[in-house]
Amino acid sequence: MKKTECERIVITGIGLASPNGSNLQEYRRNLLDSISGVVAYSVRYFGDTLAGLCHFDALKYQTRKELRVGTRAGSVAIYCVHEALADAGLDLTDSEKARTGVFIGITEHGNVETENEIYEISKYEYQTKFWSHHHNPRTVANNPAGEVTINLGITGPHFTLGAACAAGNLGCVTGAQQLLLGEVDIALAGGVSESPGTFGIFAAFNSQNALAKHAEPAKASRPFDQSRNGIVVSEGGAIFVLERLDRALTRKARIYGELAGWCCNSDATDTVLPNSVRQAECMRQAISRSGLQPSDIHIVNTHATGTPAGDIRECEALREVFANCPETHFTNTKSFIGHSMGAAGALELAGNLPSFDDLTVHHTINVDDLDPACALPNLVIGQPKKLPRVDAILNNSFGMLGINCVTVVKRFSE
């Protein structure tokens, strides 16, 4: 049955901060031009490593005092939300602020702040009287979404959604669901990450033999390549303005695409190792809910992180779902920016949405020797590929403890 305009969810604004671009235009250009955002990095206690770091102007929307009191994740979110609203042509009135919700996915929160506080009191023989009184609001689960509402005076609901590396997609799904429930009229939805600020994440991935290493930082993130050896930890964020179609049409908004289908499920099998059967089920359900068939999907942005086992499991699922789909092409954004954790799904979707206009699939870099176990038909490597048409994009996000979240965005047509 055809959906009514009030049952259709569209994307009308995008704000982002990525390791290789602080707005959609710069980010997309660098994806098409093979420019990586991975650099050499040194983190306290762990030492020298590699990371994807953002370089947005944090003072554009916050004072120095606000930056000191708040969090890096909150700052990323505030920047992205302001940019998304400006991109959507929205200057929220008080009544609109009451009907606006903020739904932000994140991998983990509070690790950076807790590590920093422990480091600070270590200078004073661990006397807790020197512990910051800002610690609690910095680390509660509803930060950074709460920081956004304070910064912009938004009085509608705000959630921060913990969904590991599927969180960026889940933020978008939650925003869409809140719109369909009628709880809000505007959803600011996506994901953010401040992960490089904590030494613990580097140490943990390293102890799993899952932290990427390479003499050339730009070549470290190499999903599908035979020599891949792990994850490049990155920060960043992407926030979308989501609206019901009727509202978007009334205000003559530019529409990037329609968030037409989604699914979130659980592997229920392992804390780390993905389950390709559950991943395939998640993709199939998202496609079905969008009213499409697998053969209707023209671009699949893969989740692949550069871990040997994880990439293979996802490719098994992709081959099962997209068998006999000659027009479906596959790419990977993490090869450019590393793994931005809770922001990954949202950032990767943002980087692919311009394909509706330029009919181009951005490529996967650093695949010098394709692992046969990761071979996919129409895997775009080496350089971008022009397509005759792009009508639907599927975006994969899979996380620890077996959480999977897949979104499908369609080219908008009335």
Tell me if 296 is assigned to some domain.
Answer: yes
Instruction: Based on the fold, state whether residues 179 and 76 are members of the same structural domain.
Output: yes
Tokens (6 digits) for 272: 């780390």
Instruction: Based on the fold, state whether residues 216 and 77 are members of the same structural domain.
Output: yes
Point out the catalytic residue in the list 165, 263, 282, 405: 165
Average pLDDT, the chain: 97
pLDDT tens for each residue of 342-363: 999 999 999 999 999 999 999 9
Instruction: Based on the fold, state whether residues 83 and 10 are members of the same structural domain.
Output: yes
Point out the catalytic residue in the list 82, 158, 303, 329: 303
| Structure confidence at residue 4 as a pLDDT band (50, 70, 90) | confident
The residue range of the domain holding 392 is: 260-410
| Structure confidence at residue 2 as a pLDDT band (50, 70, 90) | confident
Instruction: Please identify, among 228, 250, 272, the residue that sits at the C-terminal boundary of a domain.
Output: 250
Q: How many domains does the chain have?
A: 2
Tell me if 356 is assigned to some domain.
Answer: yes
Question: Is there a catalytic annotation at residue 165?
Answer: yes
pLDDT at 290: 97
| Structure confidence at residue 3 as a pLDDT band (50, 70, 90) | confident
- Averaged pLDDT for residues 11-17: 98
- Averaged pLDDT for residues 279-302: 98
pLDDT at 5: 81
Tell me if 255 is assigned to some domain.
Answer: no
Instruction: Based on the fold, state whether residues 393 and 283 are members of the same structural domain.
Output: yes
Question: Is there a catalytic annotation at residue 303?
Answer: yes
Instruction: Based on the fold, state whether residues 195 and 222 are members of the same structural domain.
Output: yes
Instruction: Based on the fold, state whether residues 185 and 297 are members of the same structural domain.
Output: no
Tell me if 234 is assigned to some domain.
Answer: yes
pTM score, whole prediction:
0.97
Instruction: Based on the fold, state whether residues 214 and 187 are members of the same structural domain.
Output: yes
Q: Are 263 and 397 spatial neighbours (Cβ–Cβ below 8 Å)? A: no
Strand partners, 278: none
Instruction: Based on the fold, state whether residues 100 and 198 are members of the same structural domain.
Output: yes
Point out the catalytic residue in the list 82, 339, 362, 363: 339
pLDDT tens for each residue of 152-183: 999 999 999 999 999 999 999 999 999 999 99
CA 310 to chain centre: 18
Tell me if 336 is assigned to some domain.
Answer: yes
pLDDT tens for each residue of 296-354: 999 999 999 999 999 999 999 999 999 999 999 999 999 999 999 999 999 999 999 99
In sequence order, which residues have a C-beta less than 8 Å from that of residue 404 and are 6 or more positions away?
A: 166, 263, 264, 265, 266, 267, 278, 279, 282, 397, 398
Share of the chain above pLDDT 70, in %: 100
pLDDT tens for each residue of 65-120: 999 999 999 999 999 999 999 999 999 999 999 999 999 999 988 899 999 999 99
Instruction: Based on the fold, state whether residues 195 and 308 are members of the same structural domain.
Output: no
Q: Angle at CA 151, nearest 5°, toward 245 and 165?
A: 65
Helical segments of 182-275, H only: 199-207, 245-250
* CATH value at residue 11: 3.40.47.10
In sequence order, which residues have a C-beta less than 8 Å from that of residue 123 and are 6 or more positions away?
A: none
Tokens (6 digits) for 163: 């969904």
337 vs 24, 124, 217, 352, 370, CA distance in Å?
14, 38, 11, 14, 19
Instruction: Based on the fold, state whether residues 68 and 13 are members of the same structural domain.
Output: yes
Q: How far apart are CA 120 and CA 129, in angstroms?
A: 11
Question: Is there a catalytic annotation at residue 339?
Answer: yes
Instruction: Based on the fold, state whether residues 307 and 277 are members of the same structural domain.
Output: yes
pLDDT at 129: 95
Q: How far apart are CA 121 and CA 113, in angstroms?
A: 12
- Averaged pLDDT for residues 375-397: 97
Tell me if 395 is assigned to some domain.
Answer: yes
| Structure confidence at residue 414 as a pLDDT band (50, 70, 90) | confident
pLDDT tens for each residue of 266-283: 999 999 999 999 999 999
pLDDT tens for each residue of 134-145: 999 999 999 999
pLDDT at 1: 64
pLDDT at 108: 86
Instruction: Please identify, among 250, 284, 309, the residue that sits at the C-terminal boundary of a domain.
Output: 250
Tell me if 379 is assigned to some domain.
Answer: yes
Instruction: Please identify, among 231, 250, 269, the residue that sits at the C-terminal boundary of a domain.
Output: 250
Instruction: Based on the fold, state whether residues 128 and 150 are members of the same structural domain.
Output: yes
Tell me if 362 is assigned to some domain.
Answer: yes
